[in-house]
Homo-oligomer: A and B are copies of this chain.
Amino acid sequence: MLERPALYTDYYELTMAQGYLLAGRQDERASFDYFFRDIPFEGGYVIFAGIADLLKTLQNFRFHEDEIAYLANQGFHKEFLNYLRNFELTADIYAAKEGEIVFPREPIVRIEGSIIEAQILETLLLNFLNFESLIATKASRMKYAAGNRKVLDFGLRRAQGYGGIQASKAAYIGGVEATSNVYSSFRDNIPASGTMAHSWIQSFDDELTAFRKYAEYYPDDCILLVDTYDTLNIGVPNAIKVGKELEKRGHKLKGIRLDSGDLAYFSRQARKQLDEAGLEYVKIAASNQLDERLIKSLISQEAPIDLFGVGTRLVTGQNSPALDGVYKLASVNDEPKLKISENIEKITLPGRKKVIRYSGDDGTFYGDGIVLEDEENVETIYHPYYPAKHATVTTFNAEYLLSKVMQDGELTIDIPTPKESATYAKKRLAKLIPEHKRFDNPHIYKVGISKKLMDLRDNLTQKMKNKR
């Protein structure tokens, strides 16, 4: 989609990049971490997504002549423009798998490269990872609420512009079964879904004719929208008529869709009417401003809904429209760096780091540890701010969450498909206990740091304070 990504960046990345060059620092190696501080939706976890798109997009990362001409026009120096002209990615990238369950403060992606390239990639990386992780997470919550009922993405019309393309893909990674978005279905090989809108019904003289025509053309994939005129008095009876006619022709009406009114009441009444007519097999789909809490509420009311169509509140994230992921400098030429702050929680973790996930023998996730890259045999992880809180991790199984996905600017993995990432997310979610998944006050997942990392951070902070 973004075929020319080089300018998809904040202006200051380029002014800084030029500054590094003019200061003769172009050969310095920097390490940057991507992490977030808060879980959106007041939830207990985040599903990591966007890395596949990022890696794919980086394959086209170069500066074109018209882009360089634009930068010249902005006043950038000839020396820098020449540098950009010959620019090639040489970075190493370490990343968690797309679909991984991740938590605050963990460096989910680490970019090591020349300080110039690592700087220039910041905005592109943040834009992709923040948004796709946000929507994958939202989708996963909806699917969690829906249980074994299906959830479909109907969001493109209310998505934030072209962001709808990434939203549909991320929603699929997060657990949504299909999308109305044909573009994403075509491009990302996601199942597509959809039948009729009110306009189809309105365009005919009456609803029954509209239903009959649709059933004629789509006898095996017919979901009738029943609320154009009057759901229970007209819509459902007409759908039943058409269902019976389909039976005579050897087909089965697939479903009806409710798109307004009280979905609990209407679905129950409609189910009754359908069942009484012998159409127990006809599914009920429901849509209209649904989100995970409404889905949960409908299910707790035992609304006989088989299929939830979700739109705006899925593809925009609604109540949390952005993940607050950041990209922070962790080292330059192997010298650890940090940003200090009055707010201790905003002090960054310095140095090159890795993330270890600890699991019990039954496979459930116990907690994660952030440790320095060269640490082995970590025995204890500490709460990042209250070292009195710590845990021994020697009895758990350990796995490393980050792996190398790019070396010297070249991919070292096959980029996962959305389907593969969705499968992975599902597998990993199964290892997260329900207490982390619930919507109200989810149990906080343990993310600790090693003693070495804590000492490095605290010594460096002290050193900086002394410098004042």
Contacts and interface: CB of A to CB of B under 8 A. Distances in A.
A217 interface: yes
Interface residues of A, number: 102
A212 to B, nearest CB: 11
A8 B234 contact: no
A139 B206 CA distance: 44
Nearest to A11: B194
A7 interface: yes
A265 interface: no
Interface stretch (A175-183, A299-307, A431-439): A175-183
Contacts of A113: none
A172 interface: no
A213 interface: yes
Complex copy number for this chain: 2
A26 interface: no
A217 B182 contact: no
A160 B321 contact: yes
B196 A12 contact: yes
Of A13, A130, A195, A322, most B-chain CB atoms within 10 Å: A322
A197 interface: yes
Interface string A205-236: 01000000110111001000000111001100
A30 interface: yes
Contact of A164 (B67, B127, B181): B127
A12 B180 contact: yes
A7 B115 CA distance: 40
B161 A131 contact: yes
A351 B132 CA distance: 41
Of A165, A216, A316, most B-chain CB atoms within 10 Å: A316
Nearest to A23: B213
5 contacts: A23-B213, A75-B221, A122-B199, A161-B165, A161-B166
Interface of A: 1-2, 7-16, 18-20, 22-23, 25, 28, 30, 32, 67, 70, 74-75, 115, 119, 122-123, 126-128, 130-132, 154, 156-167, 179-183, 185-186, 192-200, 202-203, 206, 213-214, 216-218, 221, 228-230, 233-234, 260-261, 312, 316-318, 321-324, 328-329, 332, 337-343, 346, 464, 467-468
